[in-house]
Amino acid sequence: MTRRAAYEARQRRRANTIAGLSTLAVVALVVVLVPLAPGWEAVQRSFFDGETFVNTFPTLLRAFLLDVAIFAWSVPLIFALGLAIALARGAQSAALFPLRIFGAIYVDLFRGIPVVLLVYLVGFGVPGLGLPRPWNSPYIWGTVALVLTYSAYVAEVLRSGIESIHASQRNAAICLGLNSRDTMRYVILPQAIRRVVPANMNMLVALQKDVALLSFIGPVEILRQAGIYKSLLANFTPYVVAAVIFLCVTVPATRYADYLLNKDRNARS
């Protein structure tokens, strides 16, 4: 072992020891101090009841599949609409000026409204028009609310990706005789979409959580099912179960997005 390697190994051991000890100290403090709080026993009973956890878990997991389904059919709609809006905002010709304005207003409007508010407005408002079944379904209008909000975000992300592609790429394509449509489709967009994959992954994680907001307008997905159990059993543990189930999906997805982001950063530096 070289002198430098020996020194670095020593430094690393020292750092690991300190990190281990300080982590242990913090965990010990939490374990000791939290149960000393006056309300701890009541909280433990109503939030961390083992039996309730086990009993409600299967049903809540099944209810979560509905969240996954809503997520799954929303994603393609969000990306299709987001891409259309991003392209509309970049429209160059004078005749398409209204399209550009529409894109700008759309993005400002739907990024500016809290998702939950939009879910209420669209989810209760549109069926209120007295539409016949199945067009009054909260699944449809809840999905519409999610798609409106998230496509606005995705449009912005895509637009930033499109603008990040260096002008020399566009020049190279145009000098080969490609028209602006083919330049966008074959040269700019494939690179732009690749570049914003990490940002869109984070968006998908946020969407998966926001699907639970549809519980406010009817669908018995995991949050609403947990609420039903809470009323039935007079216990909050089902909410903790729901949180755990969400984390099982969102934590790996977030880590994966971070991994992609780092890989992308390293590739470009």
State the nearest-atom distance from the C-beta of 75 to other proteins, in Å: 23
DSSP string, 54-105: HHHHHHHHHHHHHHHHHHHHHHHHHHHHHHHHHHHHT--SGGGHHHHHHHHH
By C-beta, is 68 or 176 nearer to other proteins? 176
179 lies in the binding site for other proteins (CB under 8 A): yes
CB crowding 68-101: b at 16 or more within 10 Å, else e: eebbeebbebbbebbbbbbbbbbbeeeeeeebbe
Give the integer Cα–Cα distance in Å for 189 and 83: 10
Among residues 61, 91, 126, 174, the one that binds other proteins under rule CB under 8 A: 174
168 lies in the binding site for other proteins (CB under 8 A): yes
164 lies in the binding site for other proteins (CB under 8 A): no
Q: Between 191 and 210, how does the x/- string for binding to other proteins read (CB under 8 A)?
A: x--x----------------
Check residue 255 and report its DSSP letter. Answer: H
Among residues 15, 172, 247, 248, the one that binds other proteins under rule CB under 8 A: 172
Residue type, 171: N
State the nearest-atom distance from the C-beta of 90 to other proteins, in Å: 19
State the nearest-atom distance from the C-beta of 176 to other proteins, in Å: 4
By C-beta, is 186 or 256 nearer to other proteins? 186
State the nearest-atom distance from the C-beta of 63 to other proteins, in Å: 41
**Which class for 235: exposed (0-12), middle (13-18), buried (19 or more C-beta within 10 A)?**
buried
- Which residue, 3, 110, 20, 53, is CA-closest to 244? 53
269 lies in the binding site for other proteins (CB under 8 A): no
**Would you tell me which residues interact with other proteins (CB under 8 A)?**
168-169, 171-179, 182, 186-187, 190-191, 194
